[in-house]
């Protein structure tokens, strides 16, 4: 099974995806990856290099092509839990002004996840958690990204979990319940 966590910075994706991965004995992975392409992306996020928004969209898509090959290989023997995937590109890069059809087109080889958990949160609370260091970590931008994610949730049938005022344990229990319901239907 291929499970993806999405949400704005500070929504709890890394924490919750790692917890779920541990209890499923799944392989945990994330995007941007640690590949040379991922490293260049991180330099952009840390404001060390400047790139056109379309270049950035292409870099995320390229990082994902390489990542998807690895994910497909691991899925032959294990479940995979991924912290961010295709929907991060559709949400962030479209809010940054890149044409959505272009983003979808360069990501056409991405794998369709079995489950997508979208973690939503009050943007002020999220920003307090992440301290707003990266280029995308500002209130109005993240607000728009979250709205875009909620649109995508309808289109792609994500499981949406609001994490505002919930402990990590409470969010985790909700995730496990949804996971159990989903796997019982298989
Ligand atoms: N429900 C929660 N309540 C309080 N703190 C949380 C909660 N979820 C995550 N955190 C904390 O917020 C910070 C950001 O969480 P993280 O999982 O890294 O988010 P993301 O990967 O979405 O940016 C971490 O310090 C984490 O321990
Ligand atoms: C995978 C991906 C990430 N991003 C952005 C979202 C985050 O701001 C950043 C990833 O940084 P990271 O520190 O991994 O995220 P988080 O704060 O959620 O732990 O890159 C995109 O804009 N497009 C993408 O396709």
Q: What is the pLDDT along the chain (186 residues), one digit of tens a residue?
A: 999 999 999 999 999 999 999 999 999 999 999 999 999 999 999 999 999 999 999 999 999 999 999 999 999 999 999 999 999 999 999 999 999 999 999 999 999 999 999 999 999 999 999 987 788 989 999 999 999 999 999 999 999 999 999 999 999 999 999 999 998 877
Q: Is the bond leading into 134 cis (omega within 30 degrees of zero)?
A: no
This complex has an ipTM of: 0.97
Ligand closest to 56 (CA) is 2
CA of 79 to the centre of ligand 1 (A): 23
* CATH number, domain with residue 42: 3.40.50.300
Q: Is 153 exposed, middle or buried (CB count within 10 Å of its CB: 0-12, 13-18, 19+)?
A: middle
Structural domains counted in the chain: 1
CA of 135 to the centre of ligand 1 (A): 18
**CA distance linking residue 120 with residue 126, whole number of Å:** 9
Residue having the nearest C-alpha atom to atom 25 of ligand 2? 89
Which residue, 9, 5, 10, is CA-closest to 129? Answer: 10
Q: Please give the C-alpha separations between residue 19 and each of 15, 63, 161, 171, in angstroms, as whole numbers.
A: 6, 25, 16, 11
Tell me the residue range of the domain where 121 lies. Answer: 2-185
Which residue, 134, 124, 170, is CA-closest to 11? Answer: 124
């Amino acid at each position: 099974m291929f499970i993806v966590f999405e949400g704005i910075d500070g929504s709890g994706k890394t924490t919750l995806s790692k917890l779920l991965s541990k209890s499923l004995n799944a392989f945990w992975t994330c995007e941007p990856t640690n590949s040379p392409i991922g490293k260049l992306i991180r330099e952009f996020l840390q404001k060390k290099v400047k790139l056109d928004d379309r270049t950035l969209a292409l870099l995320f898509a390229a990082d994902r092509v390489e990542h998807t090959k690895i994910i497909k290989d691991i899925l032959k023997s294990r479940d995979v839990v991924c912290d961010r995937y295709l929907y991060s590109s559709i949400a962030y890069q479209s809010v940054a002004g890149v044409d959505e059809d272009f983003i979808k087109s360069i990501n056409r080889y991405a794998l369709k996840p079995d489950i997508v958990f979208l973690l939503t949160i009050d943007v002020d609370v999220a920003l307090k958690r992440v301290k707003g260091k990266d280029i995308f970590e500002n209130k109005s931008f993240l607000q728009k990204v979250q709205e875009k994610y909620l649109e995508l949730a309808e289109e792609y049938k994500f499981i949406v979990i609001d994490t505002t005022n919930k402990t990590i344990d409470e969010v985790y229990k909700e995730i496990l319940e949804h996971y159990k319901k989903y796997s019982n239907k298989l």
